[in-house]
A and B are shown apart, each in its own frame.
Chain A
């Protein structure tokens, strides 16, 4: 089951992050990745299978070669998650600001410029 939590915990490994970084440039084979990273080919293969199992990476066969690439869908999901995170956080901040005593800008722009303390 490629749920979001699994995707995220799968990401949190330095080698897998390094693999994902490389894949940002485009599709690579296991061999090509192994040459660029300080890990063995079987290890790269194992990490790729894990990334694939949670839907972060897809595999394409071109002739006899297998190419791995980032799944655009998973990047979009990550983006959606972060959009929600900051939207929720800012909504919470806005609610908080309404409860705290502040200088009300709307009121303070009236001719008298004395600060008007607002407390709700």
Chain B
């Protein structure tokens, strides 16, 4: 392993929610399909129909396309309601190795803080990055197969 460098440190993001620890954990896991911004982040872009987290240890996290194909994002490695959840994270890749996403739920004033810590992204970052950021990226993927680069670049400029 390399010595720690700023660029390699885990990704950490958190948010406050106005509900109890138990509710926050339940909504995050049981409600995953309903809150995940699938239009922004998915493997299959416009074809993505739904994503799921099976709410138990060893449960799968995956997305399903309109045609019913399933693509794994990862699986539940640790299931400690209502405080902690650990996922393996490798969307779009079979490599189950090095990436993990920890979700921590802690009590704070007026509610719960939900913190996501994404580790190992720098080693096989492609996994998570197969979740495209936006429709522009999806258009690029779709058009790439049909048009020479110059043409779709022009189309994007026009759009």
A residues bordering B, Cβ < 8 Å?
A: 1, 3-5, 8, 11-12, 17, 21, 24-25, 72, 75-76, 78-79, 81-98, 100, 102-106, 108
Across the interface, do B28 and A93 meet the contact criterion of CB distance under 8 Å?
Answer: yes
B133 adjacent to A4 (CB under 8 Å): yes
**A contact residues around B56 at 8 Å (CB):** none
B151 proximal to A (CB < 8 A)? no
Query: Closest Cβ of chain B: how far from A28's Cβ, in Å?
Result: 14
Task: Report yes or no: A84 in contact with B133, Cβ–Cβ below 8 A.
Answer: yes
Q: How far is the CA of A11 from the CA of B102 in the complex (A)?
A: 24
Contact call B17/A94, Cβ cutoff below 8 A: yes
- Which of B93, B112, B133 contacts A85 (CB under 8 A)? B133
Given known A82-B128, A85-B128, contact A76–B7 (CB-CB < 8 A): yes
Q: How large is the interface on B (under 10, 10 to 19, 20 to 34, 35 or more residues)?
A: 35 or more
CA distance A68 to B23 in the complex (A): 50
A83 partner residues in chain B, CB cutoff 8 A: 11, 13
Across the A-B interface, the 4 shortest Cβ-Cβ residue pairs: A96-B35, A102-B19, A11-B126, A90-B15
Of the candidates B7, B8, B11, the one whose C-beta lies within 8 Å of that of A86 is B11
Residues of B bordering A, CB below 8 Å:
2, 7-8, 11, 13-20, 22-24, 27-28, 31, 34-37, 40-41, 92-93, 95, 110-112, 114, 116, 118, 121-126, 128-133, 137, 140-141, 149, 153
> Is there an interface contact between A78 and B111, defined as CB atoms closer than 8 Å?
no
Cα–Cα distance between A12 and B37 once the two chains are bound (Å): 23
Among candidates B7, B40, B149, residue contacting A1 with C-beta atoms closer than 8 Å: B149
Most A CB contacts (10 A, CB to CB) among B15, B16, B40, B128 go to: B15
Name the A residues within 8 Å of B14 (CB-CB). 90
A83 to B153, CA, bound (A): 26
CB of A92 within 8 A of CB of B31, answer no
Query: Would you give 23 A-B contacts (Cβ < 8 Å), ordered by A?
Result: A3-B140, A5-B137, A5-B141, A8-B130, A11-B126, A12-B92, A79-B11, A79-B121, A81-B133, A83-B13, A86-B11, A87-B13, A88-B37, A89-B37, A89-B41, A93-B27, A93-B35, A94-B15, A94-B16, A97-B19, A98-B17, A102-B20, A106-B110
Interfacial chain A residues near B24, Cβ < 8 Å = 97
Q: Do residues B17 and A97 form an inter-chain contact, with CB atoms below 8 A?
A: yes
B114 near A93 with CB under 8 A, answer yes
20 further A-B pairs in the complex, CB-CB below 8 A; given A12-B92, A93-B17:
A4-B133, A8-B130, A11-B126, A11-B129, A12-B130, A17-B95, A17-B126, A78-B122, A79-B122, A82-B118, A85-B128, A88-B37, A88-B40, A91-B15, A92-B35, A92-B36, A97-B18, A102-B18, A102-B23, A105-B19
